[in-house]
Chains A and B, each alone.
Chain A
Amino acid sequence: MAETKEKSLSDEKPKPRVRPIVRLGIFLISHSFHFSVVCCTAGVLALFLLPVLAKNTYISENALMPGSASPMLSNQHVSDGNRLVKDLTNPNSKSSETGIESHKIIAQYMLDLGAEVSFHKFHPQMNQFHPLHFFSSPDSGKIQENYSCSSYGINTVGIIRAPHGDGKEAIVLVTPYNALKSGFGEALSLGIAYSVFSLLTQVTWLAKDIIWLVADSQYGEYAAVAAWLREYQTPKFSSLSTPNAEMCPDVNNLFELKGHSISGSKFSNSFRRAGTMASALVLKVRDQNEQFEDTISIYAEASNGQMPNLDLINVVNYLAVHRQGLRVNVEKLWSLLNSSWLKSLGEIFESLAKVAKSLYPKWKFGIPATEYVEGTATLASSLYYQALGVPTGPHGAFRDYQVDAITLEISPKFSLDKVWRNDILLRGGRLIEGVIRSVNNLLEKFHQSFFLYLLTSPSKFVSVGVYMIAFALLIAPLPMVAASLYVDANSSSNCSKGDSSTPSAITDTDEHSIAIRSWRWLNSAKLVFIVHLWGAIVSLLPYFISQIPDCSPTTSFMIWVLLSILSLLTLNSVLASPLACAKATQEKEWALVKSVTISSVFIGLGLMSVINFATAEIGALLMVPMCLLAQPLKLDVRAGTLRSFCRMICNLVLGHIAFPPAAFFLLKGMLDGFGNANVGDFWMWVESLWAWNSATYLFIGMVQLPCWVLCISILFHTC
Chain B
Amino acid sequence: MVLLQRPHILLLLIDTHQFLQCWIAFGSANEEGQQQEEFSEELLVKPLPDHKLLAHFHFQSSAPPSTSNGCHHHLFPKAISQLVQKFRVKEMELSFTQGRWNYESWGGFDPISSSNAKPPGVELWAVFDVPQHHIDASWKNLTHTLSGLFCASINFLESTATYSTPEWSFPPASGNVRYGTLPCEAVCTENLTPWLKLLPCRDKAAIALLLDRPSLYRGFYHSQRLHLTSTESSSEGIDSGIILEQTLTVVLQPNSERAIEVHASEKHVQPSWSLSSIFGKQVSGRCVLAKSSSVYLLLDRGLVAELKFPNKENGKSAANGLTSENFWSNPSFELSVNPDRIFLEESSSHSKSLSILYMFQVEKYSESEPFDIGLMWKVPVAWLCQQTPLHASRFFMGSGNERGAIAISLKSTQFTEGFMSANSKDGSCELRVDVFQVVPWYVKVYFHSLRVFVDQQPRAVSDFIEKIHVSPSKDKMSPGVMEVVLKLPCRVNTAALTIEFDKGFLRIDEYPPDANQGFDIPSAIISFPNFHASMVFLEDDSLNRSPLLSKFQEKCPVMSYTEVLLVPLTTPDFSMPYNVITIKCTVFALYFGSLLNVLQRRVAEEERFLKAKAAKKTGRLPLLLSKLSAKLRGRRREPLHSPPSSSSFINSKLVLKVILVAGLAVGWQYFFS
Instruction: Tell me the A residues contacting B by CB distance below 8 Å.
Output: 3, 6-7, 10, 14-18, 23-24, 26-27, 30, 76, 112, 114, 137-138, 161, 163-169, 202, 204, 233-235, 237-239, 262-266, 270, 273, 275-276, 355, 358-360, 400-402, 443-445, 447
Contact = CB atoms under 8 A, between A and B. Distances in A.
Interface stretch (B58-66, B98-106, B128-136): B98-106
User: Interface on chain A toward B: helix, strand, loop, or mixed SS?
Assistant: loop
A707 to B, nearest CB: 30
Contact of B267 (A23, A112, A202, A204): A112
A168 B523 CA distance: 11
B256 to A, nearest CB: 9
B635 A275 contact: no
A7 B636 contact: yes
Contact of A166 (B183, B220, B395, B514): B183
Nearest to A28: B634
B497 to A, nearest CB: 9
B634 A167 contact: no
Given A165-B99, A276-B396, A359-B666, A114 B636 contact: no
A263 B666 CA distance: 80
A27 B634 contact: yes
A134 B102 CA distance: 42
Contact of A237 (B100, B398, B456, B633): B456
A275 B393 CA distance: 11
Contacts of B121: 166
B518 interface: yes
Contacts of A168: 518, 520, 563-566
Interface stretch (B144-152, B190-198, B437-445, B603-611): B603-611
Given A238-B456, A238-B457, 9 more contacts: A3-B635, A10-B637, A26-B634, A27-B632, A167-B564, A168-B563, A168-B565, A263-B268, A265-B50
Given A17-B606, A443-B514, A23 B632 contact: yes
B636 A275 contact: no
Given A16-B603, A238-B458, A239-B456, A167 B100 contact: yes
Contacts of B566: 168-169, 275-276
A243 to B, nearest CB: 14
Contacts of B398: 137, 233-234
B593 to A, nearest CB: 11
A202 B255 CA distance: 12
B641 to A, nearest CB: 14
Nearest to B640: A11
B431 to A, nearest CB: 18
A7 B637 CA distance: 7
Contacts of A273: 393, 395
Contact of B517 (A18, A161, A355, A443): A443
B347 interface: no
A112 B268 CA distance: 10
Contacts of B607: 14, 16
B397 A233 contact: yes
28 contacts: A3-B634, A10-B637, A16-B607, A17-B610, A76-B259, A114-B50, A164-B99, A164-B220, A166-B100, A167-B563, A233-B396, A235-B397, A237-B458, A237-B494, A238-B453, A238-B457, A238-B458, A262-B380, A263-B50, A264-B382, A265-B50, A270-B411, A273-B395, A275-B563, A402-B401, A444-B514, A445-B517, A447-B516
B669 interface: yes
A30 B496 contact: no
B399 interface: yes
Contacts of B496: 237
Contact of B669 (A266, A359, A402): A359
A551 to B, nearest CB: 35
Contacts of A444: 514-518
Closest A-B pairs by Cβ, 10 of them: A444-B516, A237-B453, A168-B566, A166-B120, A401-B399, A444-B517, A237-B496, A447-B516, A239-B456, A276-B566
Contacts of B578: none
Contacts of A76: 259
A592 B637 CA distance: 29
A287 B99 CA distance: 42
A544 B184 CA distance: 53
Given A26-B634, A239-B456, A262 B514 contact: no
B455 to A, nearest CB: 10
A163 B606 contact: no
B635 A445 contact: no
A16 B610 CA distance: 10
A202 B258 contact: yes
Contacts of A235: 397, 407
Nearest to A444: B516
A205 B98 CA distance: 14
- Of the candidates B104, B565, B636, the one having the most CB atoms from chain A within 10 angstroms of its own CB is B636
A717 to B, nearest CB: 29
